[in-house]
Chains A and B, each alone.
Chain A
Amino acid sequence: MSKQGRIRTQQLREAQRIAQAQQARRRRLVTAVGAVVILGLVAAIVFAVVSTVTGDDDGPQAASGDVVAPANIDPSGSFAVGQDDAPVTVEIYYDYMCPACGAFEAANSGELDRLVADGTARIELRPISFLDEQSRGTRYSTRAANAFATVVHGAPEQAWAFHTALYENQPDEGTEGLSDDEIAAIARDAGVPDDVVERFGEGTYEPWTASVTQKAFDSGIQGTPTVVVDGEQFQGDVYTVGPLTEAIESAAASQ
């Protein structure tokens, strides 16, 4: 190898060493900064988990403020439709956003109307709101349940009609739901007086809605619609006309 060649090789190796040192330095920097970022994220995750576990149980959708129960509703959170001395009691747990509840109403509301009218059944409506996540931040479940409670308080005679109308106009799950104005229009059509409709916007019963929802969870309700006939959960098909009617009528006959 010529002298020039040796110098060249040395230069090349020198350049290589410098490049490698640079590489190592860059790697150390990335490792250090990366470790800080990653540890920060892990800490944030742990913090988020811990604060949800130790936080209050009301959930993010829980409205703040004092729980004000509407009149005409029993302390456990049910609104009765029909005669007190009807032989069969049918409790219905539902959420105004829940499409399965809409399917239940579409199949059974006519039959329930008839059974209430002829004095066979007394319905206990138990609105809950756990699907607020499904309305793109507008908390439709809670707004609708609050409107229902307001009607129960101020115009109980129209509550059942309003309830039925809300399901007839049920929005698709995952949409923004009905606006406050649309809910108000449905209430007026169902015969709810204006002075009652005007109070929807106050959200008076939102904390109450959250509290009965929590009570329903605590009592072991697993989902909606949950239909309870004379204290026993109805396990049959609630999405077609017939099975529930039969169960109610046979319960009435056996008394």
Chain B
Amino acid sequence: MTGELGTDEELAEGSRLHRLRHSRATVWVTMLVASVASLVASFVLSIDALRLAEDPSADLGCNINAVISCGTVANSWQSSLLGFPNAFLGLITEPVVITLAVASLAGIRFPRWFMLAAQVVYTVGLAFAYWLFYEAMFDIGALCPWCLLVTLATTLVFFEMTYVNIRDANLYLPRRVQAGLVAMVRSNLDLVLVVAWILVLVLAVVLKYGEALFA
């Protein structure tokens, strides 16, 4: 009887691709890679910010060929909203995510309240990353490749973290909401949504800056 149930369950688990997507390793490795990428980008941006602080005219000239002109993102007020370069926030927070991902890969399970706190803080980080993306696109009018990497990586980390917290019921949600979210995750709707979302961002960048990037 148990054997029979097992095969049934396997059937329900779906194709190899589906199982790979939902495997523990995939989830945490994705989060690990994305958070390392985010850390590297934050590091580069922090060094740039220090260079600019040393010599404000270092990047003063308006470059024609790059979309990054003299209105470089780095010189805008948005890039140091809290009084210091935003990139410092990445240096502070991404190592926590890296630790979380590595520890989870090693088999450690964090308490629900811990994962909930991580979810809340990372959601704030995501909102901040998207505010910056919006400002860079429409107000500063310049794109910086490292900032785009941060936007992408933050999205992926948020996606995987939310996935884990829905799967493990860490969010203290009402039962119905929780069940609905689990069904969504099982049907891969979340994956479709995040891929479509990233493609929408790519499309937006191409439409607005394609001329400067490819022409």
Contacts and interface: CB of A to CB of B under 8 A. Distances in A.
Interface of A: 13, 16-17, 20, 23-24, 26-27, 29-31, 33-34, 37-38, 41-42, 44-45, 48-49, 52-53, 55, 57, 59-60, 95, 98-101, 103, 130-131, 133-134, 136, 173-174, 216-217, 221-225, 237, 239
Max chain A C-beta neighbours (<10 A), residue from B61, B67, B142: B61
Given A26-B186, A52-B211, A99-B60, 16 more contacts: A20-B11, A23-B186, A27-B188, A29-B187, A34-B188, A34-B195, A52-B206, A52-B215, A98-B62, A99-B70, A103-B60, A131-B71, A134-B141, A223-B70, A224-B61, A239-B60
Interface string B197-209: 0011011001100
8 contacts: A16-B8, A26-B187, A57-B215, A98-B69, A134-B141, A217-B65, A224-B70, A225-B61
Given A55-B215, A100-B62, A134-B69, A48 B141 contact: no
Contact of B62 (A13, A17, A20, A131): A131
A23 B187 contact: yes
Given A173-B71, A224-B62, A34 B192 contact: yes
Contacts of B70: 98-100, 173, 223-224
A239 B215 contact: no
Contacts of B200: 41
A37 B199 CA distance: 10
Closest 8 CB pairs of A and B: A34-B192, A41-B199, A52-B210, A20-B12, A98-B62, A173-B71, A100-B60, A223-B61
The B interface is mostly helix, strand or loop, or mixed, namely helix
Contacts of A95: 62
A230 B99 CA distance: 60
Contact of A45 (B140, B188, B189, B202): B202
Nearest to B139: A174
B63 interface: yes
Contact of A131 (B18, B69, B196): B69
Contacts of B76: 174
B23 interface: no
Interface string B72-108: 0000100000000000000000000000000000000
A129 to B, nearest CB: 11
A152 B141 CA distance: 30
Contacts of A55: 215
A53 B210 CA distance: 8
Contacts of A27: 14, 18, 186-188
Interface residues of B, number: 43
Contacts of A59: 211, 215
B215 A53 contact: yes
Contact of A100 (B8, B61, B64, B188): B61
B14 to A, nearest CB: 6
A174 B215 contact: no
A221 B210 contact: no
A136 B141 CA distance: 8
A225 to B, nearest CB: 7
B60 to A, nearest CB: 4
Contacts of B195: 34, 38
B215 to A, nearest CB: 6
A42 B18 CA distance: 22
A30 B199 contact: no
B141 A174 contact: yes
Contacts of B203: 41, 44-45, 48
Given A23-B183, A223-B61, A223-B64, A53 B71 contact: no
A56 B158 CA distance: 40
Contacts of B62: 95, 98-101, 130-131, 223-225
A45 B67 CA distance: 19
Contacts of B207: 48
A222 B63 CA distance: 6
Contacts of A103: 57, 60
B60 A30 contact: no
Max chain A C-beta neighbours (<10 A), residue from B11, B200, B214: B214
Interface string B50-67: 000000010011111101
B188 A30 contact: yes
